[in-house]
Amino acid sequence: MERLWGLFQRAQQLSPRSSQTVYQRVEGPRKGHLEEEEEDGEEGAETLAHFCPMELRGPEPLGSRPRQPNLIPWAAAGRRAAPYLVLTALLIFTGAFLLGYVAFRGSCQACGDSVLVVSEDVNYEPDLDFHQGRLYWSDLQAMFLQFLGEGRLEDTIRQTSLRERVAGSAGMAALTQDIRAALSRQKLDHVWTDTHYVGLQFPDPAHPNTLHWVDEAGKVGEQLPLEDPDVYCPYSAIGNVTGELVYAHYGRPEDLQDLRARGVDPVGRLLLVRVGVISFAQKVTNAQDFGAQGVLIYPEPADFSQDPPKPSLSSQQAVYGHVHLGTGDPYTPGFPSFNQTQFPPVASSGLPSIPAQPISADIASRLLRKLKGPVAPQEWQGSLLGSPYHLGPGPRLRLVVNNHRTSTPINNIFGCIEGRSEPDHYVVIGAQRDAWGPGAAKSAVGTAILLELVRTFSSMVSNACPPSPLSPGFRPRRSLLFISWDGGDFGSVGSTEWLEGYLSVLHLKAVVYVSLDNAVLGDDKFHAKTSPLLTSLIESVLKQVDSPNHSGQTLYEQVVFTNPSWDAEVIRPLPMDSSAYSFTAFVGVPAVEFSFMEDDQAYPFLHTKEDTYENLHKVLQGRLPAVAQAVAQLAGQLLIRLSHDRLLPLDFGRYGDVVLRHIGNLNEFSGDLKARGLTLQWVYSARGDYIRAAEKLRQEIYSSEERDERLTRMYNVRIMRVEFYFLSQYVSPADSPFRHIFMGRGDHTLGALLDHLRLLRSNSSGTPGATSSTGFQESRFRRQLALLTWTLQGAANALSGDVWNIDNNF
What digits encode the pLDDT tens for the residues 702-724?
888 878 888 999 999 999 999 99
Hey, is 197 helix, strand or coil? strand
Hey, is 247 helix, strand or coil? strand
Hey, is 695 helix, strand or coil? helix
Q: Cα–Cα distance between 321 and 327 in angstroms, integer?
A: 13
- Other beta carbons less than 10 A from residue 550's beta carbon: 13
Determine whether 702 is exposed, middle or buried from the number of CB atoms within 10 Å of its CB (0-12, 13-18, 19+). Answer: middle
Helix 654-667 and helix 750-758, axial crossing angle in degrees, nearest 10: 10
First-residue to last-residue Cα distance in the chain: 51
Strand order through the sheet with 210-214: 220-224, 210-214, 396-401, 239-247, 270-274, 294-298, 356-358
Closest CA to 627 of 560, 555, 537, 572: 555
The answer to whether the peptide bond before residue 466 is cis (omega within 30 degrees of 0) is yes
- pLDDT the model gives residue 134: 59
Q: Cα–Cα distance between 110 and 116 in angstroms, integer?
A: 4
Q: Cα–Cα distance between 92 and 246 in angstroms, integer?
A: 86
477 alpha-carbon distance from chain centroid: 19
Q: What are the backbone dihedrals phi and psi of residue 367, each rounded to the nearest 5 degrees, phi first?
A: -70, -40
Hey, is 19 helix, strand or coil? strand
Q: Where are the alpha helices (DSSP H) in 605-764?
A: 613-619, 624-644, 654-667, 670-675, 681-703, 709-720, 722-725, 750-758
Determine whether 168 is exposed, middle or buried from the number of CB atoms within 10 Å of its CB (0-12, 13-18, 19+). Answer: buried
- pLDDT the model gives residue 360: 95
Radius of gyration of the chain (CA): 36
Q: Cα–Cα distance between 287 and 272 in angstroms, integer?
A: 10
In the predicted model, residues of the chain with pLDDT beneath 70 are 1-82, 97-135, 150-151, 339-345, 464-473, 600, 763-774, 805, 807-810
Instruction: Please state the length of the chain.
Output: 810
Cα–Cα–Cα angle for 799, 802, 808, nearest 5°? 65
Sign of CA dihedral 591, 597, 600, 605: negative
- pLDDT the model gives residue 249: 97
Q: Where are the alpha helices (DSSP H) in 208-271?
A: 253-261
Q: Cα–Cα distance between 574 and 588 in angstroms, integer?
A: 13
Q: Cα–Cα distance between 174 and 426 in angstroms, integer?
A: 28
- pLDDT the model gives residue 90: 75
pTM score, whole prediction: 0.82
| Strand extents, DSSP E, 30-148 | 34-40, 56-57, 127-129, 133-135
Name the region of 251 (left: φ>0; alpha: ψ -120 to 50; beta: rest).
Answer: left
Determine whether 459 is exposed, middle or buried from the number of CB atoms within 10 Å of its CB (0-12, 13-18, 19+). Answer: buried
- Other beta carbons less than 10 A from residue 598's beta carbon: 19
- pLDDT the model gives residue 665: 85
Q: Cα–Cα distance between 774 and 782 in angstroms, integer?
A: 16
Percent of the chain topping pLDDT 90: 55
- pLDDT the model gives residue 316: 93
Q: Cα–Cα distance between 257 and 763 in angstroms, integer?
A: 13
- pLDDT the model gives residue 130: 38
Contact 485, 580 (CB under 8 A): no
Contact 482, 414 (CB under 8 A): yes
Cα–Cα–Cα angle for 98, 100, 106, nearest 5°? 105
- pLDDT the model gives residue 761: 78
Closest CA to 348 of 270, 234, 428: 234
- pLDDT the model gives residue 105: 46
- Other beta carbons less than 10 A from residue 120's beta carbon: 10
- Other beta carbons less than 10 A from residue 469's beta carbon: 8
pLDDT digits (tens, 9 = 90+) for 66-101: 444 444 454 555 566 667 777 777 778 777 766 665
180 alpha-carbon distance from chain centroid: 26
Q: What are the backbone dihedrals phi and psi of residue 520, each rounded to the nearest 5 degrees, phi first?
A: -125, 100
Sign of CA dihedral 296, 297, 302, 303: positive
